[in-house]
Structure 1
Amino acid sequence: MVRIVDQMGGTPVDQSGAGKTAGVVARVRAMVQDGTLAAGDALPSTRALAAELGVARGTVVSAYEQLDGEGWIRTRQGAVARVAPGVPGMPVSAATTGPVRRSPARDASGPVPLLDARPGIPAVTAIATRDWRAAWRAAADAPLRNALSDPAGLPELRAQIAAQLGLRRGFAPDVSRVLVTGGTSEALSLVVEALRNHLGRTPRIAVEDPGYRSGRRAMTSAGAELVGVPVDDDGLDVDALPALPPVDAVVVTPTHQYPLGSVMPVARRQRLLSWAVDTATTVVEDDYDSEFRHRGSPVPALAALDTAGVVLHVGGFSKTLDPRLRCSYLVLPPGAVPDAVAAARVARGPVVAEPVQVALAHLLRTGALRRHLGRVRRDYTHRRELIASRLDGVPGLEARALNGGLHAVVTWSALATARAVVARTARAGVLVSALAEYEVAPGSAPDGVVLGYGGLTLPELDRALDALLGALGGALGGALGGSLGGALGGALGQA
């Protein structure tokens, strides 16, 4: 284990307050950059380093948290902090005290790896290795049996889901009303199948525009007719619903509208529920990333306000753990349509492998998922702050969806297409998505791109922002004139 103080010349940190934390952060960064600390090297404990540097232990804890959030080190509860893989050689100044601003792509020799900054990828590798392995050991230790899986899902997992909803989402469903599904798309297709069976015709479903495109594909494949509903700064426009042809269901993302990021206020939620009761319409709440709220208090689920039994609540583990697990859940109120959904689940049979369900139940029961969420919330907040600081003050640009979730939406008011910006960004080695890809009706969304930051380290996100700003400068410079070009040049110069 490298002695940090020895490598720093034995000089204690002499700043005060936040400056002490910044000093520790800058020194560790510099040691990684110059090769003194290599990938996998262990760092001193927070207590030991605090004693060596002559600072409070809380200062070192804060420094390690920032370094972890920036992707320089990896900390795990009960284990030593280690230098993260892939960071040696990154350009950094020992005097730098703020977040890393310079992209490694600028000084790297050889090919630059492609970065996938499209939305939908969380920080899969952030979970503690011992927790992850313990969950799969629990799955391997489960007794073999000559039986089929319960179509509704493993009872233990359903019980843990119900308990977590009571703690975190403001409502505690009966375990018998929880169904395990093969991802959100399978849950939505299950609802369509149930509506079709219950109604005896093609169901018509209202969806947010722009909105969740994979969910739309799943519903149309299951035989639904979709109708787009405009979205404003408060989410789905409830006042637009009465003007639609009669619909059988409406799918909403009220906690963090996908992809624009708006939060539906309580008053609008109540109006939506009242409209649903009056029109006998089923409301499907897609609660896809409610765990990640970066500003303000967590928002209760729409289902927590539902006293009439009109809300079908959809949640899952794609954004909290790994989308490749393909495990979500539906929470059904009593009623004819929910009962039809339950019947459709039985008819389809189980879709999520039982070992996967055992592992997820273990992560919930032991608190491992809760600890993981605490870690990645902090990391995602660092990423959000970097995006805000890099884009703040650039005229003509607006960063949206930063109050929560794992992605940002960058829009502009100039006469330039998102397609051109996406293509230029891709040529720089970074993949982003055009906001237009989420439209139901062409032209319903402003020009913009969606940038996913959940699976990126802070240095990688810096590189992605460099590529995006460079692409915007090239695509929009002519449309907005020299002021934007200068501003974008300044934003890149800060990096």
Structure 2
Amino acid sequence: MDGPIIDLDRTSTVPLGVQLVDGLRRRVLAGELRPGDPVPSTRALASALGLSRSVVVTAYDQLAGEGYLETRQGAATRVAELVPRVERAADAAASARAAGAEPSAMAAEPSASPEPRINLLPGRPSTSRIDPRPWRAAWRGAASLEIPADSPPPFGVPRLRAEIADHLRHARGLACSPDDIVVTAGTSEALGLVASVLAHIAGSAPDLAIEDPGYPSARRLFERRGVRTHPVGADGDGFDVGALRRLPVVPAAVMVTPSHQYPLGGRLPVATRLELLAWAGAHDALVIEDDYDSEFRHLGPPLPALASLDDTGRVVLIGSFSKVLTPWIRLGYLVLPAANRRLRDAIAASRDDEACPVPGVAQHAIAELLASGAVRRHITVARREYAHRRGLVLAALDGLPGAPLSGLDGGLHAVVELPDAAASAALVTRLANEGVAVAPLSDYWAAPGTTRRHGIVFGYAAPSDTQLVEALGRIRGAVLDALAA
């Protein structure tokens, strides 16, 4: 490439390495650097820009992880082959009309169900930025330990419980001890454990209030275990405590996602958190806090965990490393309130019959990742990456008349709303036909036929930037066509 590649502003507070990454990324997305184009060697670029070679190496590594560059040993680093671009559906329809042909209906059924080329289903984190060196070292170290002849302790390996408690003190402002931690096989197993305890404490068929819309898998999991669920409305600020009071029954527990309501994205104000705790105290009820996406707050200061406001033993916090690291490890935790001896005894009784399902080697590996600071460093890196991806979503979809964009104050997903169910269903079908997988917003309501809100939910963390940019272009074109229909 001739001429200066990137203009660096040495008076800016933005680090030069970040400027280099942003500049190269913009040139790829603008088409100034095309697939297959070689980029200068790290040594040559460092010399040309007056940077240390390590800064350029780090920038190239980041861009390779994001899918912009392709590196091969013994060969020049090149711009990666982007996801193939095809004619936008709106342009295709215009061409068809110009030729006198009728464009196919947007709601047409797909002729097949191919695997999506670009998977935007929510709940999938980016794993490309996990540093492989501490990751591999942690697993090697765990595998080199003496092989025990017993199952892992019922509540988990002591070192992991201590590291989780320390992590929560720093990340969530939650003062808890290792004795309060129960290691679980992800969020699902944690919910199953809570469901069995509810049945033990409150009766054979306990009542549970849940957010509506909310997490469908959690609702189905509780119902399969004999828990009667009662949907309570959630809006831009999260759970509606007034609607909770109007339920025809007083539930034994309430499940909420106060840090980042799923899927609408609101966060529960402190006043409402205190109101919910007061309700729980008045009715001797439990509050199950799913600390979903709390690590990735993009707007506004993080609010303290609901559990940190609880001094009466009402709140059980559920967390996991699925979004922080990867769902592949299936490792999560419960934080039990120290003051609730009845709950602790019920959990202990359940674990006496069912041993901790998380392999000891995995527990030791994650404990080492936490102790070494690798998890904390990864959260910092991932937060920057997700903020950048969020910016791509806003640039493509914000401000479309009739299709409000929401859910982006934190987390890894976004919501695009549409006027009616037919337009939403047609949008999901069209995107599937084009190789882009998204989820219908209506699926998140307990009774889908009763909702007045429609649209799609999609994740923006897992795909590469180039994949995301193409998918966002397809979503934008499909949304505009749906609104014009």
Normalising by structure 2, we get a TM-score of 0.84
* 1:212 maps to 2:212: no
Q: 1:275 to 1:380 in 2, by over 3 A?
A: same
Equivalent residue number for residue 8 of structure 1: 2
- Counterpart residue type for residue 207 of structure 1: I
Q: Which runs of 5+ in 2 are unaligned?
A: 89-113
Q: Matched residues in 1 for 2:311 and 2:165: separation?
A: 18
Flag the 1:83–1:316 CA change in 2: closer, same or farther, 3 A.
farther
Report what 1:349 is aligned to.
355
From 448, 452, 456, the counterpart of 2:459: 452
Does structure 1 residue 313 correspond to structure 2 residue 312? no
Aligned counterpart for 2:303 among listed residues 278, 295, 299: 299
Alignment partner, residue 81 of structure 2: 89
1:298, CA displacement in angstroms? 1.9
The 1-side partners of 2:117 and 2:66 are apart by 19
**Is 2:99 the counterpart of 1:105?**
no
Q: 1:387 aligns with which of 393, 398, 402?
A: 393
Cα deviation, 1:193-227, whole Å, max 9, x if unaligned, reads 01111233211100000001111121112211100
Equivalent position of 1:99 in the other structure: none
Measured in 2, the distance between the counterparts of 1:430 and 1:32 equals 25
Give the Cα separation in 2 of the matches to 1:53 and 1:321.
34
Residue 439, structure 1, aligned to residue 419, structure 2: no
Distance 2:181 2:402 in 1: 46
Superposed displacement of residue 16, structure 1: 7.5
After TM superposition, the structure 1 = structure 2 runs for residues 57-456 of structure 1, keeping only pairs within 5 Å, are: 67=63, 71-73=67-69, 88-90=80-82, 104-106=84-86, 114-244=117-247, 245-333=249-337, 334-335=339-340, 336-414=342-420, 416-442=422-448, 443-444=450-451, 446-456=453-463
- Match of 1:289, SS? coil
DSSP 3-state at the match of 1:126:
coil
Shift of 1:50: 5.1
Contact kept in structure 2, 1:69 and 1:458, CA below 8 Å: no
> Kindly tell me: are residues 249 and 261 of structure 1, through their superposed partners in 2, closer, same or farther at Cα, counting changes over 3 Å?
same
**Counterpart Cα distance in 2 of 1:74 and 1:288:** 34
Distance 1:340-1:240 versus aligned 2 partners, 3 A rule: same
Q: Distance in 2 between matches of 1:445 and 1:124?
A: 36
Of 202-211 and 384-393, deviating more is 384-393
Q: For residues 400 and 342 of structure 1, do their structure 2 counterparts lie closer, same or farther at Cα, with a shift above 3 Å needed?
A: farther
Kindly tell me: are residues 28 and 52 of structure 1, through their superposed partners in 2, closer, same or farther at Cα, counting changes over 3 Å?
farther
Q: Provide the residue aligned with 1:492 in structure 2.
A: none
In structure 2, what is the Cα distance between the partners aligned to 1:14 and 1:190?
Answer: 54
Q: How many angstroms does 1:35 deviate by?
A: 2.7
Do the aligned partners of residues 62 and 391 (structure 1) sit closer, same or farther apart at CA in structure 2, a change above 3 Å counting? farther
The 1:405/1:27 distance shift into structure 2, 3 A limit, reads closer
TM-aligned CA deviation for residue 446 of structure 1 = 0.9
When the two structures are aligned, how many residues end up with a matched partner? 445
Identity of aligned residues (%): 43
1:441 CA drift (Å): 2.5
Residue in 2 aligned with 1:485?
Answer: none
Residue 211 of structure 2 aligns to a residue in which SS?
strand
Distance in 1, matches of 2:300 and 2:289, equals: 21
SS state of the match for residue 425, structure 1? helix
Give the whole-Å Cα distance in 2 for the aligned partners of 1:230 and 1:168.
29
Q: Deviations over 1:442-485 (max 9, x none)?
A: 3336111101111011111112112222332343321xxxxxxx
Cα contact 2:265–2:409 (8 A) shared by 1: yes
Local SS of the residue matching 1:124: coil
| AA aligned opposite 2:145 | A
> Which ranges of structure 1 fall in alignment gaps of 5 or more residues?
1-6, 76-81, 91-102, 479-495
Following superposition, the deviation at residue 374 of structure 1 comes to 1.2
Relative to structure 1, is the Cα distance of residues 284 and 26 closer, same or farther in structure 2, using a 3 angstrom cutoff? closer
Report SS of the residue matched to 1:270: helix
For 2:122 and 2:408, locate their aligned partners in 1 and report how far apart those are by CA, in whole Å: 13
AA aligned to 1:37 is P
Q: Could you tell me the TM-score, scaled by structure 1's length?
A: 0.82
**Structure-1 separation of matches of 2:425 and 2:234:** 22
CA contact (8 A) 1:162 1:178 kept: yes
What SS does structure 1 have at the residue aligned with 2:42?
A: coil
- Maintained 8 Å contact 1:152/1:346: no
Q: Match of 1:310, as an amino acid?
A: R
Instruction: Give yes or no for contact 2:417–2:454 (8 Å, CA) kept in 1.
Output: yes
- Residues in 1 aligned to 2:41 and 2:151: alpha-carbon distance in whole angstroms: 47
Q: Which residue type is aligned with residue 141 of structure 1?
A: S
* Structure 2: distance between partners of 1:27 and 1:307: 54
Equivalent pair of 2:197/2:343 in contact (CA under 8 Å): yes
Give the superposition deviation at 1:174.
1.7
| Structure 1 residues 362 and 462: alpha-carbon distance in aligned structure 2, compared to 1, 3 A threshold | same
SS at match of 1:264: coil
